[in-house]
Amino acid sequence: MHEPTADSLIGQPVDALPTPALVVESEALEHNLALLATYFASRPAKLRPHFKSHKCVTLARHQLEAGSAVGITCAKLAEAEALVAGGIRDVLIANQVVGPAKARRLAALNRSAAVRSAVDSLVNLAELGEAATAAGVTIGVLIEIDIGMHRCGVPPGEPVLALASRIRETPGLRLDGLQAYEGHLVTHPDPQERRAKVAKAMEPVQTTARLLQDAGFSCEIVSGGGTGTYDITGNLEPFTEIQAGSYALMDCSYKKVSPMFRNALFILATVISSHQHFVVADVGLKGMGNEFGLPVIAGAPRAKPRCIAEEHLPIDDLPASVGRKIRIIPSHGCTTCNLHRTMWVAHRDILVDFWPIEGSGALE
């Protein structure tokens, strides 16, 4: 006897949800989607919203419907599989898809959709080419350039040209362009410095794109950018696509960097223990990301979460009795959504829908 069932909660107040529950406020979400769609409507660069921030296929469809979007970005193969299964036909995996078995899965996706991948090594090119040829498809790839984050990607310039030449020689592969992600700069706190640092970091991408074109290589797509840099990278040559993700739902960290977007995501929690100077809510590390710090309690500016335990959030200076529902804005939406299976949708405090989070958890 699990009660109440999900369907029976539609039309009920948000507070009727069993806790912890992940809730999206539809008006704030619509505001965020419209803001970015409008911004890119009149610009040459377009949006390719990042699935990793919410992992919900229904929300990805809303992002496409909002306009100015050419497709969806995602972080890994299993996310792309969820997107294609959900009817989305233009996907960029902004990451390396490594190993023969995964290469075959990627090739299989390209039978019914355009699913591109970032690449940065010869061994990976060989795997992808072999799988594509065996499946009778062509896989479009973007060469990833490391512009200072020092994660994946090759240095700009000659190493990119070398990979481009190999792609041209590899049956089953098609060079579609470049990826360069300024992940080390997207949340830089000072807006002026952020702008200057991003412009500087992207100079080698411009040079490399020219090198490629001069050598007769195609460079149709150049992908990068995030919620904190959409209005910087989105206006820089040669970028054609911006991979912003957090803008849709936001969190209390990104809100400081990009205040034009609204916090559309919260965790509904219940006070399960109440004491003289603190209370304890029923959500912790297993329902909330922690790597960007402590969350914020909506509507309670004096409340101070003390730490995030596994299943508890002790909160100082929040007078509340046992049973009270509270709304918690997490410090990182991406890792929070990854912990939940369902995203509840609320319109003015009434539950109107629930969306599966198909990509949640540690996908392979």
Write out the residues near a copy of itself by the rule CB under 8 A. 1-4, 17-22, 52, 75-76, 81, 95-96, 98-99, 101-102, 104-105, 108, 120-121, 123-124, 127, 150-153, 183, 270-275, 278, 280, 282-283, 285-291, 308-312, 314, 321-323, 334-335, 338-341, 360-364
Q: Given the complex with a copy of itself, which of 3 and 7 has the nearer CB atom?
A: 3
In whole angstroms, how close is the CB of 291 to a copy of itself at the nearest point? 6
Q: Given the complex with a copy of itself, which of 113 and 199 has the nearer CB atom?
A: 113
| Two structure tokens written together for 264 | 């559309």
In whole angstroms, how close is the CB of 173 to a copy of itself at the nearest point? 16
Q: Given the complex with a copy of itself, which of 241 and 282 has the nearer CB atom?
A: 282
In whole angstroms, how close is the CB of 104 to a copy of itself at the nearest point? 6
Rg (CA), the chain: 22
The residue with tokens 């240095």 is 155
Q: Given the complex with a copy of itself, which of 98 and 113 has the nearer CB atom?
A: 98
Q: Given the complex with a copy of itself, which of 37 and 132 has the nearer CB atom?
A: 132
Query: Residue 13 corresponds to which amino acid?
Result: P
In whole angstroms, how close is the CB of 280 to a copy of itself at the nearest point? 5
Q: Given the complex with a copy of itself, which of 67 and 293 has the nearer CB atom?
A: 293
Minimal CA–CA distance to 78: which of 53, 49, 52? 52
In whole angstroms, how close is the CB of 214 to a copy of itself at the nearest point? 27
The angle formed by the CA atoms of residues 128, 133 and 137, to the nearest 5 degrees, is 90
In whole angstroms, how close is the CB of 31 to a copy of itself at the nearest point? 25
Burial of 363 (0-12, 13-18, 19+ CB in 10 A): middle
In whole angstroms, how close is the CB of 360 to a copy of itself at the nearest point? 7
Q: Given the complex with a copy of itself, which of 151 and 256 has the nearer CB atom?
A: 151
